[in-house]
Each structure stands twice: as structure tokens, then as C-alpha cells.
Amino acid sequence: MSRPGAEPLHPSATGGITTAPANAPATSPATSPATDPGQRAGELRQLLNRAAHAYYVLDSPLMEDPVYDQLYRELLELEQAHPQLISPDSPTQRVGGAPVEGFVSVGHRIGLLSLDNAFSLPELEAWYGRLLKVLDREPQSGEALPALPLVAELKIDGNALALSYEHGVLVRAATRGDGERGEEITANVRTIASVPLRLQLENPPAWVEVRGEALIPDGTFAAINQERAARGEALFANPRNACAGTLRQLDPRVVAARRLDFFAYTLHLSGDWQATGPDPARPSSQWESLQWLAAAGFRVNPNAERCPDLAAVEAFFGRWDMGRRQLPYATDGVVVKLDDLRLQADAGFTQKAPRWAIALKYPAEEAPSKLLRLSCQVGRTGVVTPVAEFEPVPLAGTTVSRATLHNADRLVELDLHSGDTVVVRKAGEIIPEVVRVLAELRPAGAQRLQLPHSCPECGSELVREAGEAATRCVNSSCPAILRGSLRHWVSKGALDVDGLGSKLIEQLVDRGLVRSIADLYRLDGALLASLERMGETSASKLVAALETSKQQPWHRQLYGLGIHHVGEVNAKALARAFGSAAELDAAASETPEQITAIHGIGGEIAESLQQWFATPANHQLLAQLAAVGFALARTEAERAAADQASGSDNTLLAGLTFVLTGTLPALSRSQAQGLIEAAGGKVSGSVSKKTSYVVAGSEAGSKLSKAESLGVPVLSEAELLNLLQQN
């Protein structure tokens, strides 16, 4: 069977005999009647895309292989003769062009957040209780839980993608990244046959964002590994890792050869779009969103169910525990979503995940192995973590040989002895953990294992404070602490210094060339070039990257300092509220209530900041960083943006609490929240007598009703913006 041009994707790739439709062309392109090239190209694109959708999505071929080959060849020749006819939705554009040089970071129009996890039915029920609380639907004492319609979908173990369509045409595809920004991989995603290049809608929206999961089916994965083995290449560990690596290939032809698939599961439509003609109506629920996606040409996982209550979800979860093992792709749980989109908007988000959805995970695969030794690793905060090293064992698609044991309490709980046989599993299908010890297999005379009394890196006496689970090395000069701090500082979410990996950091610390983060910025090219695996070119690039990193935004610098409990999300919130390290220092020591007033920031974080700034060594570090060129404050551009967002008065809304509900005309929920917080206001998830204003958009739900019953003022988006612009 021939393959047209560079096209490796074929709607009759099985080679089976199918029946061609009555109107399928029976003549070769050479004998087709003369028509307008533009009109003919449009007809061919439409027919070939419909054929691909029928084969890859509906599993119902429209035409025989030779017919498809002829039509594809005719379109290819038309486009070669008339390059102006080439369009992004042409099947000839699924694969083609030279490999790209790299991937560009792009911002998501709508954040691509991860889901919180539940690992048992009680944890699922606890999530449902929290959901009822935020929706003001908690039952009275003695009453049954209110039943909210939910949607249960199998959780595909693949890689999340964000697809952007404009006027029905795929214009961009990106990875999840950090949820706010990802890498653009449009050329690679075009090769996935189940991703439509043009939506099958008569009147498509001005824009639509589709979220879904890219995957490699198990059978395809096995075939890929067989081919790699025959070529003497390293095998992929599991389908998910193979898919992730494939999506980041620089050559789309390699991606096409690995035959990825895609399931769509989430939809975001432009606010003004309404269906006309035969197009599906604008969805008002998650279930209707899945039907909309299928009608628009996407492959939607058929193993989803609209559940009237939580009991139906639990039954679905139990049914698929064994059934999922018969599927041709990997799954690791069930995603549970609140069905009503208006209630989803009312429930809102935490800083990391939607409140209206959760991933209920199946128990991880377990396997026994023999313990070889107990080692310890020292983290950047000085915490000493015991690590069990055992005989390698295959587990959930990978081979594992070590697992962290968290702390000394876990050692006691396991009652771990030398030579024990341990049962290992992957928590959340990712992180190996020791579940239990098979004491009946313990060798005679085995010694109980415990943490050492001195640091394995520097020999200092280890400390465990009363009430704490962690055992720490408190020597600030400990090489392990320094290495961890350096790795964190140069990491992607912090200063993002390319070219400074773990091996080089180890060299710099072990040779005494770097004794603090600031010392990195005193390195010169000649010294770096003399190190192992470094040349003049690599050294000069690293020096340039370090210099560039001084311009990273204030919130990245704050995150890079590695303050306990201050992750990327909290660093952004703190940096919006406090424009410099000096301001944050003053608040931590004198007015910690200013810190806890920030949405999502609690007393634990405020206390951690207080302790960090009270440590003389940390003040010394800030002084050293300032000496090498760090402002440790907002740049002029950041200050200008903050002033503009807050009407040049970042205390304009101080002391006021807002609740957002419904869909706003222009602002997303996160944008509105950012403007309010930048002006000193606080955004809450529920309405009470203490609420200052409710900002309501279209399809506002129960929060609007409660505001009206309590007499809380209600603002439109325009009124909110007017309030922000007051001086």
C-alpha cells in the first residue's frame, strides 16, 4: 500500500477491505474534470479530513486505501502547484517541514491547573463535604448529604495538552508546563490523527480552548520498543514517559512515526458564542461539554458516566478497578467533576487546583524486594531523609531500587531490620514507597536499623527538636545543604539558569569554589572552563546565563531563596503584596498580620518568614546578593504594571473582601482576583456578612442569591474596574 508524500497517517492503515461511498471518485487525478484549483482544494480538504475523522475517531472508514491515496495525491499536487492554497487545516500539513530548533514558552489563555488527589473513598467523601461547604449546601445535623450531579471519567495516564482554535482552525498546541505557561508543540500535535485540524462546526467560535490527554496506546508502545530493540536502542520505560519524550521531539516526523492518540475532556468557549444551524448548543454542564467536543470532531473517551450522586461515582470507581486492565491504554484512577458549569464557577479554585474536581486514584501496584542497605540523604533545609535501597524490581512500568522513608518515625513504624523483605509500591503511580515489612521472612540475627547520630555529609551532630518529625543537620556550612540550595536557586521555577546542573554544582562545592549562592556570580569563564566537562563555549554561556538571571522577576528571586513553605504560588502572592525583600522583612518582624491577610497565606507561612529573616546568616546572604547585582525587589516594569493594575494605589481596596461569581465579560476569574489583590483587597470563596462586595457575571449562582439576602453590595465587572480606578 502506498503512502502519499510525507504523510504517515492513513485512515485505512489496517489494509482491510472497506466499501467506498457512492460519491467517491473512481478516476485518477489526471482524468478528473477541470475545476477552479481553490474550490477543488477546499473540497479535497473537507473530504479527506472527514475520512480521517471517520477512521481515527469513529472507527468507521469511509473509503478504501487507493481512493484515499488518489485524493491525497491530488491535493498535494494542487498545493505544490499553487502554494497559496496551503492552509493550516490541510491533511498535508499534519507532517512536514524541517525539524525545529527548540520550543518557545507560551502563556495559556486559561490556566491549565492540576487536580488534587484522593487515594480512598473516605478522602473522596471528604472532598465532597468541602465542596458542599464552599457552595453553601452543607446539610443540617442529621440530614443526608445533598445530591449534586457529577461526571466520572477514567483518568488517562498520559500528558496534558492545551489546544487553541481560532475560527475553527487549530492555531496552537502547548504542554501543561507550570499551568500558566507551557512549551508550544503545534507541529508535533498536528501529527496526531485524532486531533482535528479544523472543527466540524458550521459556525465555529471566535476562539475555543480544548484540554485533553495525549497518549501512546499499549499495543503501539510495545511495537515501538520492539523496533528500538531491533535497532539496539534503549527501550522506553513506560507509555507515559515515551509520550512525554515524543511530544518534545524536535522533528515532527519522529512524532508521527510513534502514532500518538488524544482524548479531549475539557472545553472553554469564547463568551459570546451561541450555536446556529446544526451545531451543538453551548454546553451548560461537563456532560454536555463532552458531547460538544465529540460533535466538533474530537475523540472523547467513551468510558465516562453522568452520576446522580456520590454513591454512583463510588460504584463507577469499583466497576472499573478490574475493567480498566482490559483497555488498550493505561489508566490510574477516575476523575470526578461537578457537572453543572455554573456551580463549578461558584466553587472556584484554590491556588493550585479546581475545587470542583478531584482525581480518585486506584491503589498502586505492589511488589516484594529484599532490602540491601539503609542510606541517608541531606536536603537543602538540612532535613536528613532515610532511604531504603533494595534489589531492583519492576513496578508500574519502571524498574525501582530505592525509596525514601520520610523520617525516623517511619523507620520505627516499619520496624525495619537489615536483610528484611519489604513490600514496595508506587504512590500515585510515580513515587516509590515501602509499604510494609514481611517480618516472617526476616533473617536470624538481623539488626534493627535507625538514623545515624551524625550528618553523613559533614559529620555534625544531628538534631531533632521536640514536636518535630524531621531530623536535621544544623550546620549551615554543610556541603549537602549548600548543594541543595544551589540546585533550587538555579531551577526552572526560580532563577532558571541553563547549563548549571547537579554535576557541575557538586564540582563547585567539593572544590570550595562556591560557598554561597552569591559566589556563583563571582565565577569567571576561565575558571569554569578548567572544570571537568566544561569548555570555553559552555563556560561563557553559563556566565552569560548567570548575568541574565539577575533580571528575573522579584517573585522568582523570592522563591529561589528556598524559604520553608514558600513555593512558587505563594512567592507570587507575597511578591505582589510586598515589593522588596526589605518590605517583606519588615512585615515578617513587625506586622505579620499583613502577611496572613493575603489570600491563601496562613500563619505557618508567616511564622516561617519570621524565622528566616531573623537568622543572621540569611541577612548576610541578602547583602551578598545585593553586592553582586540583585535588586531583590520589583523591577521598574513590575512596579509600573502593579501601579497600573491597582490604579496607582496598592492600598485602594485595603480591608475589603470580595467574592467572585459567574462569568465576567472580559476578565477571567484569576485576572479579576489579581487586580483586587494588587489593590490591597482580599478575595474569598464564600459570601458572609463580612463580605464587602460580590462581583457577579453572567450565570451567577447561589453566591449572588446569598449576597442579595444578606444585603451585600453587588458589582458588575465595569463597576469593579471603576472602583479600581478611583484615586
Give DSSP secondary structure letters for 664-681: -SS--HHHHHHHHHHTT-
Q: Evaluate whether 236 touches 228 at the Cβ level (below 8 Å).
A: yes
Q: Evaluate whether 390 touches 372 at the Cβ level (below 8 Å).
A: yes
Q: Evaluate whether 538 touches 522 at the Cβ level (below 8 Å).
A: no
**Which grid cell sits at 707?**
449576597
Residue 439: CB atoms within 10 A of its CB come to 12
Residue 676: alpha-carbon gap to chain centroid: 26
Q: Can you tell me the distance from the alpha carbon of 206 to that of 15, in angstroms, rounded to the nearest whole number?
A: 39
Rounded to 10 deg, the angle between the 479-489 and 502-510 helix axes is 140
Give the angle subtended at the CA of 592 by the CAs of 617 and 582, to the nearest 5°.
Answer: 45
Catalytic residue among 133, 155, 541, 572: 155
Active site residue 155: yes
Q: Can you tell me the distance from the alpha carbon of 704 to that of 692, in angstroms, rounded to the nearest whole number?
A: 13
Residue 640: CB atoms within 10 A of its CB come to 12
Residue 447: CB atoms within 10 A of its CB come to 8
Q: Output the CA torsion sign for 479, 480, 481, 483.
A: positive
Could you list the beta-strand ranges (E) of 177-217.
181-183, 207-215
Q: Evaluate whether 89 touches 169 at the Cβ level (below 8 Å).
A: yes
Could you list the beta-strand ranges (E) of 220-307.
261-269, 304-307
What is the maximum span of the chain, computed from C-alpha positions, in angstroms?
91
Residue 271: alpha-carbon gap to chain centroid: 25
- Helix/strand/coil for 359: strand
Instruction: Classify residue 714 as left (phi > 0), alpha (psi -120 to 50) or beta.
Output: beta
Give the angle subtended at the CA of 342 by the CAs of 163 and 153, to the nearest 5°.
Answer: 55
Instruction: Give catalytic residues, as residue numbers.
Output: 155
